[in-house]
Amino acid sequence: MSRQLREVVFVDGVRTPFGKAKGQYAETRADDLVIKCISELIRRNPSLPPERIDEVAIAATTQIGDQGLTIGRTAGMLAGLPISVPGFAIDRMCAGALTAVTTTAGGIAFGSYDVVIAGGVEHMGRHPMGEGVDPNPRIISEKIVDPEALAMGNTAENLHDRYPAITKERADAYAVASQAKAAAAYAAGLIQPDLVPVATRSADEGWGLATTDEPMRPQTTMESLATLKTPFRSHGRVTAGNAAGINDGATACILAAEDVATELGLEPKMRLVSYSFVGVEAEFMGAGPIPATEKALRLAGLGIDDIDGFEINEAFAVQVLSLLDHYGIADDDARVNPFGGAIAFGHPLASSGVRLMLQLSRQFEQDPSKRYGITTMCVGLGMGGTIVWENPNWNGNTEGKTK
């Protein structure tokens, strides 16, 4: 029997405002964050009958406590989805939500699903990365992984070593720009539509409402970054200012077969073209987006010059800059993270992939002359992941695009 693969589209997505660890979500459950996202997706898309959802895939890096117990299933149930809707949990560290999307997208393309919800959650304040894990000692003793690879900040310092042209000054300048772009995007009302407000509770302060990203530091300057310590290496280059923080937050999105989206009156924001996950040396994990992007572009039959919009996860400034240098793209290229990135908004590990998608879909919405874009990120233990997307509302215009 021959099968016809179906086009997969990104219909809609939401996220919670991101918080600082021990910050606005200190007494809020991790699963309640993702439940809120699922509920909001259903509210925003009334033409989607909940019983038409075929799967819920939710990623978490630390799958214990209120991020455990097959969170895709439990969160779906608690969000009010019909009992017939299954769910599962997934882990690929920082690329968890990215992988939740690609895994379920494959099911849609194959015909096993029509509509899915995919996303991720990380409450790093409650569950620090690596909590409760018991790595096999052979991974170190047999030198499969350099011990430095287990501390992400060390891998970023290693990346600076590999690419000496990426100085601390360049990384700091990139970080200042990220903060400024995020503040400008907020001022223009471009971020708020993606956010679902979350009720918060504090034993000392009572109830509150989280409506904005807590980690943002719009007052950041080169002078203020120059004073920060380099905790991973004496006289190093990686600081709290040119890296993402330790954060809490959740994301979720609706994916569908394109014909099913049309049937249900759902308007696609992006069409999936190709994706790739690639392994690299764990101690240089920040380089992962380079081969992942090369492979995803090759699978799509595209080159880097075809890409009109980039959403690159800013785990560390050096990681973004290494990808840009590889392709000869300027640090301040207007196509790259135009609304700011994780250095400003925060990086709650497994949730971040969908935030990248939300911001790329905003790029497509703002400029229909943009046809193709990528969402890409580095991944702990030496991996990279990239998805190539197409703008379904591309107007065919190739003039006036920012290059």
Mean pLDDT of 285-309: 98
Mean pLDDT of 302-322: 98
Mean pLDDT of 359-387: 97
For this structure, is 347 an active site residue? yes
- Whether 157 is covered by a domain: the verdict is yes
pLDDT attached to residue 403: 46
- Whether 378 is covered by a domain: the verdict is yes
Choosing from 94, 123, 127, 253, the catalytic residue is 94
- Whether 314 is covered by a domain: the verdict is yes
Count of the separate structural domains present in the chain: 1
Q: How confident is the model at residue 399 (pLDDT cuts 50, 70, 90)?
A: low
pLDDT attached to residue 332: 97
Mean pLDDT of 343-358: 98
- Whether 340 is covered by a domain: the verdict is yes
Question: Looking at the predicted structure, is the pLDDT value of residue 398 above 80?
Answer: no
- Whether 363 is covered by a domain: the verdict is yes
State which residues form the domain around 378.
139-192+272-390
For this structure, is 326 an active site residue? no
- Whether 71 is covered by a domain: the verdict is no
pLDDT attached to residue 359: 98
Please state, rounded to an integer, the average pLDDT across all residues of the chain.
95
For this structure, is 235 an active site residue? no
pLDDT attached to residue 401: 55
In the chain, the percentage of residues whose pLDDT exceeds 90 is 90
Each residue's pLDDT tens digit, 219-258: 999 999 999 999 999 999 999 999 999 999 999 999 999 9
Question: Looking at the predicted structure, is the pLDDT value of residue 340 above 90?
Answer: yes
The residues with which 307 forms a beta bridge, in sequence order, are 372
Mean pLDDT of 281-301: 97
- Whether 181 is covered by a domain: the verdict is yes
CATH number of the domain at 383, please: 3.40.47.10
Choosing from 37, 127, 160, 378, the catalytic residue is 378
pLDDT attached to residue 267: 97
- Whether 2 is covered by a domain: the verdict is no
Each residue's pLDDT tens digit, 132-182: 878 888 887 887 888 777 789 999 999 999 999 999 999 999 999 999 999
Q: How confident is the model at residue 361 (pLDDT cuts 50, 70, 90)?
A: very high
Q: How confident is the model at residue 88 (pLDDT cuts 50, 70, 90)?
A: very high
Each residue's pLDDT tens digit, 42-60: 999 999 999 999 999 999 9
